[in-house]
Amino acid sequence: MTTESLTGAYPAESRDTTEGRIFTVTGGDWDEFLDETGGEERVVINLGPQHPSTHGVLRLVLELEGETVTKARSVIGYLHTGIEKNTEYRTWTQGVTFVTRMDYLAPLFTETAYCLGIEKLLGIEAPQRAQTIRVMLMELNRISSHLVFLATGAMELGATTGMTYGFREREEVLHLLEFLTGLRMNHAFVRPGGVAQDMPEGWQDKVREFIKVMDTRLPDYDKLFSGQPIWKQRLKDVGYLPLDGALQLGVTGPLLRAAGLPWDLRKVEPYCGYEEYDFEVPTSNDGDCYARYLLRVQEMHESLKIIRQCVDKMESGPHMVEDAKIAWPSKLSIGADGMGNSLEHVRKIMGQSMESLIHHFKLVTEGFDVPPGQAYAPVESPRGELGVHLVSDGGTRPMRVHVREPSFVNLQAMPTMAEGGLVADVIASVASIDPVMGGVDR
């Protein structure tokens, strides 16, 4: 939209298109605009892609009559990174550093799904300790993702205190993940056959301290939001999505469970040993934005329950498969500068034998062969079913990687939730979907 102002000196410019007459405005008084447009009742506006409430670079084209949305469609592709295609030009292990950047709020879930797919093709299973570490890291990641949903959703609806609370708690999670994996985000910590490294010394105390902090802070969200009349009015009966509509659109995750179906892959198709954990799957029959908010808060409590069980039941043993032809790079050490290999490790591999050094070099540079075939591995991410479909031609690189990304699928529900409601309620509806555009565009 391109005119300097909407005053008497700068009228709204117009042009005729195949869709009708279009007026270009950048602000000003709404009544003056209606006078200049001759009282046109139908208005089409762009919300985004550079708009703080579109969760990245999502563009929404809204057709309005007054303040009621009569038609809505989403325009995606502004954040396309070509990650799926890029993985075809890297080894299977290097692909982890690509897929972790898709849904950047839940990187550990994409890493795990990708590695579970590779392990299916290889016919191997990660050791029990690695499985428990994966579960613990994913549940920590689920909490941090839901906290971003709360913080950004609150900010978009004007509840700035909720935003500061949410990001404060998220920092607690990111500090812990940095201690456990070395990085706050885009960890590339889950690897084919296990995890990159074992847990650092004193990790149990750090995790237990985090649980204690979150147990005291999570009830604050109920005090701040759950019974707050303005918050309830903004979310209650807004963005309604019934169960039959959710099923027809392929929607999963909190959106589906908030419509009444207790579908959670951790329960219905367990992976990484989830069947051994005691936790509940929160559901609601309301199918509105408020139900999705309550459900995600309850899920954070359940995640804390699972994390506590992970600490208590952590098995002793290896964190990576014993097969030396796959177990890279878990046995590498970190130098004093935090990068590369320690001198002790370099001396060790160079001093063993020329054959072991050559094997190490080939494993790192060329990677390992994966038998030909295809596999699909789904996990329950904070946004729903995240599945990775891998195709191997028997080489050291994937022939094809395709991700069933829940943000991409769930975003299809946006018109159903928004049409017929007010334009202000579009903001609440999109926030309740909780899309991550890195996952949508890939």
Q: What are phi and psi of 21, to 5 degrees?
A: -80, 135
Mean pLDDT, rounded, for 213-218 = 89
- The answer on 294 and 252 residing in a single domain is yes
Least confident piece of the model among 20-29, 59-68, 172-181, 314-323: 20-29
Residues 386-399 have a mean pLDDT of 91
Q: Alpha-carbon distance 195 to 133, whole Å?
A: 8
pLDDT class for 4, splitting at 50, 70, 90? very low
CB 369 within 8 A of CB 394: yes
Domain final residue, candidates 31, 52, 75: 75
Q: What is the mean pLDDT of residues 71-100?
A: 89
Q: What pLDDT, on the 0 to 100 scale, is given for residue 232?
A: 87
Mean pLDDT of 416-424: 87
Indicate the range of 51-55, 176-180, 250-254, 331-335 predicted with least confidence.
331-335
Q: How many domains does the chain have?
A: 2
Would the pLDDT of 67 be above 90?
no
Q: What is the CATH number of the domain that holds 152?
A: 1.10.645.10
When mean pLDDT is compared across 2-16, 76-90, 151-165, 293-307, the lowest value belongs to 2-16
Question: Percent of the chain, pLDDT > 70?
Answer: 86
Q: Is 29 exposed, middle or buried (0-12, 13-18, 19+ CB in 10 A)?
A: exposed
Tell me the residue range of the domain where 284 lies: 83-323+368-441
pLDDT number for residue 57 = 84
The answer to whether residue 381 scores a pLDDT higher than 90 is: yes
Average pLDDT, integer, range 418-423:
86
Asked if the model's pLDDT at residue 278 lies above 80, the reply is: yes
Give yes or no for a contact between 405 and 442, defined as CB atoms under 8 angstroms apart: yes
* DSSP state letter for 192: T
Q: Is 19 exposed, middle or buried, given 0-12, 13-18 or 19+ CB atoms closer than 10 A?
A: exposed
- Do 94 and 225 belong to one domain? yes
Residue where one domain finishes, among candidates 40, 59, 75? 75
Mean pLDDT of the chain: 83
Same domain, 163 and 60: no
End-to-end CA distance of the chain: 28
Does a structural domain hold residue 348?
no
Over range 80-98, report the average pLDDT: 89
Residue 351 placed within a domain: no
Identify the pLDDT of residue 2: 33
The predicted structure's pLDDT at residue 420: 87
Q: What is the DSSP string of 54-122?
A: GSSS-EEEEEEETTEEEEEEEE--TT---HHHHGGGS-TTTHHHHHTTSSTTSHHHHHHHHHHHHHHHH
Q: Do 145 and 106 contact (CB within 8 A), yes or no?
A: yes
- What pLDDT does residue 364 have? 77
CA dihedral in degrees (118, 142, 189, 313; nearest 10)? -90
Which residues have C-beta within 8 Å of that of residue 119, sequence separation ≥ 6? Answer: 125, 126, 192, 193
- Same domain (yes/no): 38, 155: no
Residue 383, pLDDT > 60, answer: yes
Looking at the fold, whether 303 and 398 belong to one and the same domain comes out as yes
Q: Clarify whether residues 205 and 188 are in a common domain.
A: yes
